[in-house]
Structures are given as C-alpha cells and as structure tokens.
Amino acid sequence: MLRILVERLRQGRRTLAFPPTSSPLPERFRGRPVLEAAKCVDGCRACADACPTQAIILGGVGAGLDERLALDLGRCLFCTDCVDACPTGAIAYSAEYRVAASQRDDLVLRGTSQKLAQAMHTRLRRVLGRSLRLRQVSAGGCNACESEVNVLNTVVFDLGRFGIEFVASPRHADGLLITGPVTENMRLALEKAYDAVPEPRLVIAVGACAISGGPYAGHPEVHDGVAGIPVDLYVPGCPPHPLSILDGLLRLLGKIEATA
C-alpha cells in the first residue's frame, strides 16, 4: 500500500488543463491546413493529383480566389502528399487542433478560417448538456481512432470531469460515436446499436473513414462512412488528435463558445 502511494506521488499529477494553457502539441503536428490560393499557379493541379483521397477541390482558371482552392477536411488524411507536391507553398499545416464541425459542408476549408462545431440546440442541451453518455462503435476502424477516443479516459484528458462518459450498452447511451468506414460486415450491428439508443440521440463521426471512407472510400466492402442517419458532429483526422475530439465534444455540449 505504501509503495503504491509513493509511486503515485512520484508519477505526479498529469491531467492537462482544457482548453490547454500552453500547447502540448509537437512542432511537427499537422493541424488544420492553411490555404493560400493567391499562391496558386494557373492550371496547376499538383496538389489535387497527389492527394490520395480527392480531398482537394480546384476551381479552375478564372475562378475567384475563394473558389480556386478548397480542401475537404472530411476526406483529408492530414498526410504530406499535397504539401510536398505544391511548387509554391500554397498549402501548409498549422498547429490548430480545433477542427470539428456540425455540418458536413463546414468541413470544406477555404483560406484559413473554418466554421467550428456549434452547440446542440437548447432543448437538447437541457436533456444532455450536463451529462452525456456515449456508446462507441467501431465499424471497420483501424484502431487508431478508437485508441484516440479511448485516450480521453486516461488521467491526461480525464473526460469524466466534463460530464461525458462512454458506456457499454447503447440503451444507456445518449448517442453513438462511430469510427471506421462502416464495413458491409458491420452495417447490421451498427444499425441495431443505433436503433437501441433512446431518443433524442446524437451521432458523432470521428475520423476520415467515418466521415468519407478515408483511404478505403469507394471500396465495395465499405459504405464510405456514416450514411443514412443524421450526424451531429464531425471530427476529421486520420486519426484526429484526442484534443480535437475533446474540443468537438465540448463544443457540441456548448461548453466552449465558437471561435474560428
């Protein structure tokens, strides 16, 4: 017993303040991309051609500055293929971990700003705002998104302090947090889990796979992510950083106010 206490003291307090007071992210962290369409050379398609998931939308010659270059965070793997391919440095990664959005369209990035996730409406907030229970379902996820969700339960992120908890049964849950491209082999189980969650219920899609199919988009074995049910929160990334997921959850609950 004494040994446990001594070790506990030695390991120290490890919980991060949230929102973090100083950045816990490494220098090379790839957060929300910054697009500078003004740097684009007319007719250049290098970034779009290099992108493995067709995340880059080019407006073509004559398009306005805002239309010239856009990036769909829902498809983005946050890899370096476009950055490496661009001859003029029009795409760069920032250290911005806040990337969650309420609408699928809000994940399409133009320039530097992004409309971040909004709080759920007041009536729902009255029911779920102070105590949110979620059931996680992995439907073809590679265990990276799952791990980053799981990490929220560690002492570092201490999810419980925000009134959020992951539960075993969908019947005890207020919503589903879905990862993976939704494989055909998991479709039925996911549908059953969704039906078992009492209303009102939330759906949260975490990771490129759950939003768009990620690197598996277009495979006949998968359904390119969550489809056919309304999604309340999208957290892009491959996988998203735990801070991105936490930030999204707290925005959804209205515990963080929107700043772009």
- Identify which of residues 62 and 220 has a Cβ nearer to other proteins in the complex: 220
Identify the bridge partners of residue 138 per DSSP, sorted by sequence position. 179
Q: DSSP 3-state assignment of 219? A: coil
Residue partners of 20: CB distance under 8 A and separation at least 6:
243
> At its nearest, how many Å lie between other proteins and the CB of residue 9?
10
Handedness of CA 86, 91, 97, 99 (dihedral sign): negative
Helix (H) or strand (E) holding 9: helix 2-11
- Identify which of residues 105 and 184 has a Cβ nearer to other proteins in the complex: 184
**Backbone φ and ψ of 246, nearest 5°:** -60, -45
Which residues sit at the interface with other proteins, rule CB under 8 A? Answer: 3-4, 7-8, 10-11, 14, 25-30, 50-53, 77-81, 93, 136-151, 153-156, 166, 168, 180-181, 183-186, 188-189, 193, 209, 214-216, 219-222, 238-239, 241
Contact of 193 with 166, CB cutoff 8 Å: no
- Identify which of residues 181 and 231 has a Cβ nearer to other proteins in the complex: 181
> At its nearest, how many Å lie between other proteins and the CB of residue 98?
17
- Identify which of residues 67 and 96 has a Cβ nearer to other proteins in the complex: 96
Q: Classify burial at 136, counting beta carbons within 10 Å of its beta carbon; exposed 0-12, middle 13-18, buried 19 or more.
A: buried
> At its nearest, how many Å lie between other proteins and the CB of residue 160?
13
> At its nearest, how many Å lie between other proteins and the CB of residue 246?
13
The C-alpha atoms of residue 52 and residue 250 are separated, in whole angstroms, by 31
Side chain identity, residue 140: G
Handedness of CA 122, 126, 130, 132 (dihedral sign): negative
> At its nearest, how many Å lie between other proteins and the CB of residue 124?
24
> At its nearest, how many Å lie between other proteins and the CB of residue 152?
9
- Identify which of residues 25 and 44 has a Cβ nearer to other proteins in the complex: 25
Handedness of CA 200, 236, 28, 70 (dihedral sign): negative
- Identify which of residues 109 and 222 has a Cβ nearer to other proteins in the complex: 222
